[in-house]
Amino acid sequence: NPHLEKMKEDILYHFALGTGTHDFPALFGDVKFVCVGGSPSRMKAFIAYIAEELGLGSPDSDYPNICVGTDRYAMYKVGPVLSVSHGMGIPSISIMLHELIKLLYHAKCSNVTIIRIGTSGGIGLEPGSVVITRQSVDATFKPQFEQVVLGKTVIRSTNLDEQLAKELMQCSKEMNQFNTVIGNTMCTLDFYEGQGRLDGAICLYNEEEKLQYLKEAYDSGVRNIEMESSVFAAMCNLSGVKGK
């Protein structure tokens, strides 16, 4: 964004961080991997796990929330790994990604990989399986993210890094702990009707129609459903950051 260069100070409102109050290169300049997920508690548990795996901490170590000045998101760091919560749904993760990408820019980070980890509804898979997303698709199975900007509809690509998918699959084979597949992830705007559930407050379709829709999704290559992947893929592509 060329407008950032004209700003005396860039305030990342929802992180409670700013270039006038924080030394971004000193705090985040060594970041190479960012893992994002919905819940703050899950991302704190993740950073504790990563710290132990990297030999940079113990299970009883404390990892302070860098965004303690706000209740919107939580952020934790150990070594080159940043762990950030993004809330639920496209609007919430979109706001977080705008500020995260600016944070990495102000910190002068390079060769950063961002990975979204989280729960999702599987299609045709045994419970507990891991899906590595090839591309995010919308509820009509198109690999695109549609957004209205200044009153005009903008269509953005949602393909993700193919080489990274292969590397993650190889890691899974070496670990041999989870059933892992590479497939498309369907991103919906809603948890209930958008995902064909029968237990929402409103449901104007029957179980047969739901199962037919899920079969069509599976036949198109969809293996799981969630609510954040489309804007995640689009923003990683636009900013030149490797994401999965």
**Residue 6 one-letter amino acid:** K
Query: Residue 117: its pLDDT value, please?
Result: 95
Query: What pLDDT is stored for residue 66 in this prediction?
Result: 97
| Tens-place pLDDT, residues 11-26 | 999 999 999 999 999 9
Q: Using the predicted structure, report yes or no on whether residue 75 has a pLDDT greater than 80.
A: yes
Q: CB–CB of 73/87 below 8 Å?
A: yes
Overall average pLDDT of the 145-174 stretch: 94
Degrees to nearest 5, angle at CA 136 with 130 and 138: 125
Comparing 99-103, 235-239, 240-244, the range with the smallest average pLDDT is 240-244
d(C-alpha 197, C-alpha 119), whole Å: 16
Tell the residue number behind the tokens 């819940």, with chain if given. Answer: 39
Of 172, 161, 72, 49, the residue nearest 111 (C-alpha): 161
Q: What is the DSSP string of 162-206?
A: HHHHHHHHHHHHHH--S-EEEEEEEE-S-SSGGGT-SSSS---S-
Tell me the binding residues for substrate.
195, 197
Percentage with pLDDT > 70 across the chain: 100
Q: Is the pLDDT of residue 58 over 90?
A: no
Secondary structure of 96-123 in the HEC alphabet? HHHHHHHHHHHCCCCCCEEEECCCCEEC
Cite the annotated binding site by residue number.
72, 116-119, 195, 197
Domains and CATH numbers, the chain: 1-118 (3.40.50.1580), 119-243 (3.40.50.1580)
> For residue 60, what pLDDT is reported?
78
Model pLDDT for residues 175-196, shown as the tens digit of each residue: 989 999 999 999 999 999 999 9
- Bind-site residues for phosphate: 72, 116-119
Chain position carrying tokens 């497939």 = 183
